[in-house]
Chain A
Amino acid sequence: MEGLGFNIAVLIAQIVGFLILLVILTKFAYKPIIKMFDERAGKIKESVEEVQKVREQAAQAEEEFKKKIEVASKEGQEVISRAMRTGEETRQKALQEAKQEAQGILEKARGEIQRERDDAIGELRQEFADLTVVAAEKVIEKSLDKEAHRKIIDKVLDESSTLKKK
């Protein structure tokens, strides 16, 4: 032991020196540094979590955005279809109206024609009757009772299908 330089006083001094170093380093170096490691780890964890959160939020926002776009596109589709339907309706209505108007015009024209025809027939009858009376007077050289005659003619005319009074 002596040859190696063992000396109990030096040994104790070294142990004491080491323990002093240990105590001071523990108090002034390790504790704050470990605290800082923990803090840093906490911060890193926090920021990672934050990133996760932000990412989730972004995903959610995207989802919502997609949903909104879907809704908007659906709405747009609806608007378009509604507009088309309205257009179709309007067209149908216009067509209907046009048809009705045409029908009215046609009706009116028909009435006019009918009336004109009736007038023409009336006139023709009158003339024909007069003519017949004159012709008969000429044939029999005798004036007929005009009133009685007319009745006969009317009867004849009524019997004929074409000039029947309506």
Chain B
Amino acid sequence: MAEQKSVPQKKKKGCLGCSLPLTIVIIVVVVALTVIGFLSGAIGQKLFGVQFPSWLNVGVPVVELPAEAVFHIGSGEPVMVWGAQVYPIPITNTMITTWITILVLLIISLIVTRKPRLIPSRIQSLMEFALEWIYNLCKDVAGEKNGRRFFPVVCTIFLFVLVNAWMNLIPGYGSLMVYEHGIEFPLLRGANTDFNTPLALSIVSFVFVTYYGLKNGKFGFVKQFFNVGRFGRGFADLVKGKVKPGCSGMFFGAINIFVSFLELISYFIRLLSFTFRLFGNMTGGEILVLMFLYLFSWAISGSIIYGFELLIGAVQALIFAGLTLVFATMASSVHEEEH
């Protein structure tokens, strides 16, 4: 009884779950950090010019689109293939983070599936919640049978993109610097901000969609890109002497061919749109965070951008996985639509 009575009293006294003095301390610290951050940031320096110790000053961020190579495997003369340097094989900082991401995912999956139980533990139920959500999404979009087939690829894309994006936001991730050949660059860099990673995912997604298009959509999948049937029938009519249906058939057939050609182009353009959507969003987000940290140093706005980036990472992961799922479903159901 005494405990029950004291609980609401505590709640009344405290604020945001802390006791009143603690809340005041937190607010003071946050405000102080915001003010100091603002004053030491680029804008604050320009406006007020208050002198701070050098460690508080943030340097101008350098944006480097290509991932920096930490070291190379092999040596000797570089070999160029399609205008890109291939040999010696560079081990870039994004490759390192990719492998860290893979390791993290493997460790999590090991923890989760080491003892799969019907009544799950906390981390298991959290992981299961995410996986079940994606699993149900797959089943809802692609149907029971295809949903099961698509799930591994869709889910791996989701987890890969998500963990890549979120790992990049861990404080200190980009702060480990490496010097090589007189250039300073971070040892770890978000894998999604390397053009090659989104491209790799796009190619995987593209191959996946095409494979299921050919497997499930069969002839209809190919036919949607080379729709010459109507044109051929119109031509045959014209040869037989039926001028009017022949002409109209050839006319609409020509439109069909044009539309299917557009379809073919847009199919391949997906590769680029997939790549640049993820690459642009992730790189843009990274640059945005860097710029905010430069302009305001530590500020409330910096935290807001951080939270925003968390959301963007999740949304991009969902978009990449979801679009792959939708395209695969569409490619699989072309055959059915034809009849």
Q: Is the CB of A10 within 8 A of B156?
A: no
Cβ contact within 8 Å between A21 and B118: no
In the complex, A18 Cα to B102 Cα: how many Å?
A: 8
A residues less than 8 Å from B128 (CB atoms): 33, 36-37
Chain A residues positioned under 8 Å from B153 (CB to CB): 22
Q: Is the CB of A33 within 8 A of B89?
A: no
Chain A 44-74 residues near chain B, CB threshold 8 A: none
Minimum CB–CB distance for B145 against chain A, Å: 13
- Contact status of A11 and B200, CB under 8 A, knowing A21-B156, A30-B152, A34-B151: yes
Rounded to whole angstroms, the CA-CA distance of A93 and B66 in the bound complex is: 123
0/1 string, B197-228, CB within 8 A of A gives 1: 10111011000000000000000000000000
In chain A between 1 and 51, which residues have their CB closer than 8 angstroms to a CB of chain B? 1-11, 13-15, 17-22, 24-26, 28-30, 32-34, 36-37, 39-40, 43
Interface band, chain B: 35 or more
**Chain A proximity of B42: nearest CB distance (Å):** 27
CB pair B102 A14 closer than 8 Å: no
When C-beta atoms are compared, the residue in chain B nearest to A22 turns out to be: B156
Please, which residues of chain A bring their CB within 8 A of the CB of B65? 3-5
B92 at the interface (CB under 8 A from A): yes
User: Assuming A4-B195, A14-B98, A18-B204, is B84 touching A30 (CB within 8 A)?
Assistant: no
- Kindly provide the distance from the CB of A130 to the nearest chain B CB, expressed in whole angstroms: 125
* Chain A interface residue number, banded: 20 to 34
> Which residue of B66, B83, B86, B160 contacts A18 across the interface (Cβ within 8 Å)?
B160
Given known contacts A5-B194, A18-B156, A33-B116, A10 and B148 CB-to-CB distance under 8 angstroms = no
The answer to whether residues A24 and B98 also contact, given A4-B195, A6-B195 and a CB cut-off of 8 A, is no
Known: A25-B156, A30-B155, A34-B148. A17 touches B196 (CB 8 A): no
Cα A17 to Cα B100 with chains together (Å) = 11
Residues of B in contact with A (beta carbons under 8 Å apart):
65-67, 81-87, 89-90, 92, 94-95, 98-99, 102, 105-106, 109-110, 112-113, 116, 118, 128, 131-132, 135, 148, 151-153, 155-156, 159-160, 191, 194-197, 199-201, 203-204, 279
Q: A residues bordering B, Cβ < 8 Å?
A: 1-11, 13-15, 17-22, 24-26, 28-30, 32-34, 36-37, 39-40, 43
